[in-house]
Chain A
Amino acid sequence: MFDQSGDLACCAGCTGSGTAELIARRRLLKAAVFGPSDRPGRARAADWAAPPHGRAMYPGGVLTGTVVDASPHILAIRRADREERLTMMPSTKAWRGGQVDPTALRAGDRVVVRLDPSRRGVAERVWANISRVTGVIVERDRASIVVDVGKMRGRRVVVIPRRAESRIQVRFPRLEPGYLIDVIGLRHGGIIEGLIPATSQPAYGADQVPRPPQTLGPALDRIGGSATWHEPASEPDDVEGVAYPLLDPETGCADEPSRGLGCVRMPYLSVGSLLKVRNECTGGSRVLPVTGCAAVARLFCDRCVTCGTSPRGRVADLALASFVALGGDLERGCFNATITVGR
């Protein structure tokens, strides 16, 4: 509901059932005034009318949960409502702060599992306790770094162990307040142990983001760049969706660290808009709803080099499950992506 000033009173960064209803309602109302259209060069109308799942790269999907037991051949994980038993093959790769043997997984680890698309119930990749902190450094002392990851997600504490110090500092030479940080590591309760730099630190401070390049005409249907991932703030890890860097400033982004446009020219969208996200490295694509704003992603003018070199800037900040379902590897931090905006 809007207040008198036109501000969105409901939070625009949440992905709960309230947002799901909001998304469904907006799609219905939009269809009422327009209905989908098929225009050359645009995504098919059927893609936008369908529920936001699309053609999955991995039909078996992505599972998230807590490890109950891990053996060389079986991984038992507890999900919200039931226990799943997955087969571990010799080819199954596991990550727990680095590549590990699947038997190194421990009961109680929070895991994200990508299933083998060709074999039912077989785990292809497992990530345990993986976490990521992307934001602006607000405090630093000898032991830890406090990072502002946006108004809706608050602040997070990163600790960089001695073994990862040089690796992080090569890519993030300025671990000082006002500069950006993006690290991947292991979650220990509320603290993140930063182990891998997810990108190179921009040379500019968070308040000096370059202006986006100007583009000719309305050629904004397909935008190339880097797709990253984030952990859902207060929702289960398997929530799907995409945080979009440029929500309508008039009605939208509670998670607002800066009023700048960021470094990619992107059209304005809102929560509930549909995006087709294509992983240029695997060829997989999905239609996902915008579930929040990626205000921090706007501050990064980096490129993804997972396969070739992507155009500059982050175009989508995917929920963890969506990133994995699209074939992304969480420890790499990004994949080269092209987004197509639904009409």
Chain B
Amino acid sequence: MHGMTELANDLREVQAPVLAAMLLGGCATKFSRVLRAGSLEAGLGPTELFPLPLRRPAAMLVCAVECALGIALTVTAPAAARNGTGALDGAAADGARIAATAFFLVAMSALIELRGRRPDVGCGCFGDLSVRPVGARSIARSALLAVAALASIGGPGLQLPPPDPGAGVLLTCLCAEFLVIALLSPEVGETLVRLGYAEPCELRNIPVRHTLAALHRSSHWHRQAGVITSDVPADMWRELCWRYVAYPGRLNGAVADVVFAVQMKQRRPVIRSAVVPRETAAVPGETRAPGAGKAGVDLPPGVVRLSAMPISKAL
């Protein structure tokens, strides 16, 4: 029984730094968003509930309160400050914790209100990371933090636990608390997505001149040179990871299009090509070429598939 009381006291003791970390983290991410957007008015969650002239001061106030509470909880957390007699005494520590409780309760109410009135707006709790619409998880997290702040009022000062099995139990409980907070934080998923980011080829922006240079050096280009009648493309377009370039041509005396597909890749792009006689300008899928479908793919009538050449040595 005594052990449980001790554990509860130890847990109350560590709530102040946990809350301070959350508050300072929230303040820092909001500030970073403001720096990137160049404006304080770039939609910081519950400030959307205020009339337009009040949004900027409200955003500044929220940020300032988070910063002040975070600092206050940090400096009043150690046992020396908690038991001190100067400006940092037990009353100051409790004052900071009461203020933090009130802050999280107000935040929870604001999120409930925001969810009802603007279901499309994110909570903005952690700046750009909190863009998902406010859900039950964000509200539950505010409630949990309010309970944590409430529990820390009157708690002992923070000190290093003695190296005994009790320390292990405390550490496990602390990890469990962080895990619960993480589960209640939609921002964790957003952070993981950002950390693992690599630009997919669908989003890669490669200049046309680079595409044309790669094409002109390829063996496909040299193979079709006799069919192509103009150096200027008749059409050029992009779909996902491929840029298509069509040139006017002449095949066995008939007008034709020579089409190349060039992969959107900086080095060694895959290049494919085909010659399409002009008189067959039908929509694919309406008719089928005789004998087509050998490889499971039907070709439009009149389409001549050239030999496959998956890797170009153009670059």
Contacts and interface: CB of A to CB of B under 8 A. Distances in A.
Interface string A285-311: 000000000000000001101000110
A24 B238 contact: no
B239 A312 contact: no
A51 B43 CA distance: 43
Interface residues of B, number: 66
A203 interface: yes
Contacts, number: 179
A143 interface: no
Nearest to A10: B235
Contact of A210 (B42, B206, B298): B42
Given A27-B284, A210-B37, A2 B276 contact: no
B38 interface: yes
Contacts of B120: 302-303, 305, 309-310, 312
A31 B282 CA distance: 11
Nearest to B259: A29
B216 to A, nearest CB: 13
Contacts of A248: 237-238, 243
Nearest to A226: B120
A34 B261 contact: yes
Contacts of B237: 26, 248, 251-252, 270-273
A170 to B, nearest CB: 10
A337 to B, nearest CB: 15
A305 B239 contact: no
Contacts of B38: 208
A4 B208 CA distance: 11
Contact of B238 (A200, A218, A220, A250): A250
B300 A173 contact: no
25 contacts: A24-B283, A28-B280, A28-B283, A29-B274, A30-B261, A31-B300, A32-B274, A32-B276, A32-B299, A35-B299, A46-B285, A203-B55, A204-B43, A208-B42, A211-B36, A213-B193, A216-B196, A217-B198, A218-B200, A249-B205, A251-B208, A267-B202, A268-B203, A269-B238, A270-B239
Interface of A: 1-4, 6, 8, 21-22, 24-37, 46, 49-51, 173-174, 200, 202-204, 208, 210-211, 213-218, 220, 248-252, 265, 267-273, 302-303, 305, 309-310, 312, 341, 343
